[in-house]
Amino acid sequence: MVIEVDSAADPRIADYTRLRDTDLRKALESEQGLFLAEGEKVIRRALATGHPLRSLLTTRKWLPSFADLPADAPVYVVSDAVMENITGFQVHRGALASMGRLPLPAVQDLLGPARRVLVLEDLVDHGNVGAIFRCAAALGVDAVVLSPRCADPLYRRAVKVSMGAVFAIPYARMADWYGGLADLRRAGFQTLALTPDQNAPAIDKIPLADRVALLLGSEGDGLSSHWLAEADHGVSIPMSPNAMALGVDSLNVVAAAAIACHALLR
Amino acid sequence: MVIEVDSAADPRIADYTRLRDTDLRKALESEQGLFLAEGEKVIRRALATGHPLRSLLTTRKWLPSFADLPADAPVYVVSDAVMENITGFQVHRGALASMGRLPLPAVQDLLGPARRVLVLEDLVDHGNVGAIFRCAAALGVDAVVLSPRCADPLYRRAVKVSMGAVFAIPYARMADWYGGLADLRRAGFQTLALTPDQNAPAIDKIPLADRVALLLGSEGDGLSSHWLAEADHGVSIPMSPNAMALGVDSLNVVAAAAIACHALLR
């Protein structure tokens, strides 16, 4: 159902407007149970994993790419100028889709057959969350568990940076931060807390159990002392002896996650 | 020299205005030989590595942090509202410095004592360049060589994401892309081209020479076929056998750089 829309103020495209306002979008997306996927490949991955299409927003040039989409969802066609007016940026590969969220599993159900799990504590940057999901998919992680306050993997930037991996890797959100590691322990996971402390054993040297959960902390402060204490072992990524003198006391969380996931794949 | 400025239009703070316009800033920064550093820690690292201070822009709240700066450079003090009007975003730790660039060394001079070098071909994203410099500093890389078209490490976002590592790791820019690897070969470097091709030997298994240069390609297309052919070996990061089925055919360049630098540190 193709519908021409000639103004950014048209209420039919309200799902897409004011994309630049992060706070507004967070509220809109979580309260209304929607999220936005950008670009044909990512949109198709979201559809293939069962997410219902609310509508598509595209330009005349890109319309033919989407001729085979479910016929019951409205396809709003706008000019390039209206598209940029709505979004405030060039839309990657000319299309945005508004899609419905699926219910998340409970942590204990998520863990079922998983052998390698990432646990993200309070990451605030959506790009980092998306990049970590991409690493997880590339490097054999089976599932991701989020702390209650961790940034949303379906926020637009996270979806984009993940290249759609947020649809491919199952994830769940803990109901409770303080006791959040109990489900992992009950399921027999070895819990490894990644720390910049260079006295902790190196992640590529520590013996791995059959089921391993790697805990990653937030961008500024790293893991909470509570989770560090709760974990079976602290593990580190060895840094160059010269790093401190260069003013660098840690890796960024995506780099650390990549090295750690690679080490878990051995 | 503290100077109160009450309008974003004041010509004395022209170095800082229109920060949101990427194209304009690129031209301004490279033509006038300036760059911007954000936040006290990063500004101090830039000063400590000999970059001349043109001026500082801050708010009254943060002014005391900078009481010890070189007295000859103007310190412009603005209200929070003017600061946000100028920059369009919240400034990290309340200060921006406009600084002068230093001349870059020639590639052959840069290589002098280096044993581990990264070579970046045409990366376009300033955040990625900054994150790779941070990895390089943390993981024992001695120097970075940029292709002629690679994004500028002193662009504001690169400086910020690097946490100042762009001042700590020496770098140079090739004059010529086509023959750009010749200096490395002449200096006796083993050249390793990172490729998503899973048939290439794994980077953590390949025997390393005393001097190793790791080549990293651009975000979309990876390394050019010319550089892939010129390199001594292609090397890969093993991905999960399941990754393709999940729609992920590669790691992002920062994740790949992190894993590769970690492997070079062994």
Predicted confidence (pLDDT) per residue in B58-115, tens digit: 999 999 988 888 778 999 999 988 888 887 666 666 899 999 999 999 999 999 989 9
The per-residue pLDDT of chain A, averaged, comes to 91
What is the ipTM score, two decimals?
0.90
CA atoms of B121 and B150, how far apart (whole Å): 6
Average pLDDT in the A38-56 region?
A: 93
The two structure tokens encoding residue B67: 């009481």
pLDDT at B81: 87
pLDDT at A69: 83
More confident residue, A53 or A87: A53
Domain range summary for chain B, segments of one domain joined by +: 2-100, 107-264
Tell me: pLDDT of B20 over 80. no
More confident residue, A159 or B25: A159
Q: What percent of chain A has pLDDT over 70?
A: 92
pLDDT in tens, B162-211: 999 999 999 999 999 999 999 999 999 999 999 999 999 999 999 999 99
Q: Are A129 and A159 in contact (CB under 8 A)?
A: no
The two structure tokens encoding residue B199: 């048939």
Question: Running DSSP on this structure, what letter comes out for residue B45?
Answer: H
Interface test with A, best of B23, B246, B264 (most A CBs within 10 A): B246
Mapping DSSP onto H, E and C, the string for B167-229 reads HHCCEEECCCCCCCCHHHHHCCCEEEEECCCCCCCECCCCCCCCCEEEEECECCCECCHHHHH
Residue of A nearest to B168 (CA): A246
Q: Do A169 and B246 touch (CB under 8 A)?
A: yes
Q: Are A235 and A261 in contact (CB under 8 A)?
A: no
The two structure tokens encoding residue B115: 């044993």
CA atoms of B30 and B179, how far apart (whole Å): 24
Q: Do A259 and B256 touch (CB under 8 A)?
A: no
Mapping DSSP onto H, E and C, the string for B108-153 reads HHHHCCCCEEEEECCCCCHHHHHHHHHHHHHCCCCEEEECCCCCCC
A154, A201, B261 from B199: Cα distances, Å: 34, 31, 20
Q: How confident is the model at residue A262 (pLDDT cuts 50, 70, 90)?
A: very high
The two structure tokens encoding residue B175: 């004059």
pLDDT at B252: 93
More confident residue, A102 or B18: A102
Chain A 118-177, residues with CB within 8 Å of chain B CB atoms: 131, 134-135, 137-140, 161, 163-165, 168-169
CA atoms of A191 and A188, how far apart (whole Å): 9
CATH number belonging to domain B107-264: 3.40.1280.10
Q: Select the residue of A137, A242, A247 nearest B248 (Cβ to Cβ).
A: A137
pLDDT at B16: 86
Give the phi and the psi of residue B7 in degrees, each rounded to 5. Answer: -145, 140
Partners of B248 on chain A (C-beta within 8 Å) are 134, 137-138, 163, 165, 168
Q: What percent of chain A has pLDDT over 90?
A: 73
CA atoms of B24 and B16, how far apart (whole Å): 11
Q: How far is B164 from chain A (nearest CA, A)?
A: 8
Partners of B258 on chain A (C-beta within 8 Å) are 251, 254-256, 258-259
Chain B CB within 8 Å of residue A91 CB: no
pLDDT in tens, A145-196: 999 999 999 998 899 999 999 999 999 999 999 999 999 999 999 999 999 9
Q: Do B252 and A134 touch (CB under 8 A)?
A: yes
Average pLDDT in the A247-259 region?
A: 94
Q: How confident is the model at residue B15 (pLDDT cuts 50, 70, 90)?
A: confident
pLDDT at A31: 64
Q: Are A141 and A119 in contact (CB under 8 A)?
A: no
Partners of B251 on chain A (C-beta within 8 Å) are 134-135, 138-139, 258
pLDDT at B156: 87
CB atoms < 10 A from the CB of A148, how many?
Answer: 13
Average pLDDT in the A196-202 region?
A: 95
Q: How far is B263 from chain A (nearest CA, A)?
A: 9
Is it true that B2-100 and B107-264 share their CATH fold? Answer: no
Q: C-alpha angle B136/B137/B141, rounded to 5°?
A: 50
Tell me: pLDDT of A99 over 90. yes
Question: Running DSSP on this structure, what letter comes out for residue B251?
Answer: -
The two structure tokens encoding residue B116: 């581990």
Helix (H, G, I), strand (E, B) or coil at B85: helix
Which CATH superfamily, name and number, covers A2-100?
A: Ribosomal protein L30/S12 (3.30.1330.30)
Chain B 229-248, residues with CB within 8 Å of chain A CB atoms: 237-243, 246-248
Whole-angstrom distance between the N-terminal and C-terminal Cα of chain B? 49
* Residue in the block written with tokens 């976002």: B157
Quote the radius of gyration of chain A (alpha carbons, Å).
20
The two structure tokens encoding residue A147: 């702390």
Tell me: pLDDT of B23 over 70. no
Outline where B14-125 has alpha helix (H). Answer: 22-31, 40-48, 80-87, 107-111
CA atoms of A109 and A183, how far apart (whole Å): 10
Q: How far is B138 from chain A (nearest CA, A)?
A: 5
Q: How far is A237 from chain B (nearest CA, A)?
A: 8
CA atoms of B132 and A98, how far apart (whole Å): 34
Partners of A247 on chain B (C-beta within 8 Å) are 41, 45, 137, 163-165, 167-168
A10, B33, B116 from B210: Cα distances, Å: 64, 36, 9
The one-letter amino acid code at A216 reads L
Residue of A nearest to B167 (CA): A246
Q: Do B163 and A248 touch (CB under 8 A)?
A: yes
Q: Are A115 and A141 in contact (CB under 8 A)?
A: no
Helix (H, G, I), strand (E, B) or coil at A87: helix
Q: Do A243 and B138 touch (CB under 8 A)?
A: yes
Q: How far is A226 from chain B (nearest CA, A)?
A: 26
pLDDT in tens, A128-143: 999 999 999 999 999 9
pLDDT at B71: 76
Q: Are A83 and A77 in contact (CB under 8 A)?
A: no
Q: C-alpha angle A179/A183/A189, rounded to 5°?
A: 120
Residue of B nearest to A167 (CA): B246
Which residues make beta-bridge pairs with B120?
B146, B216
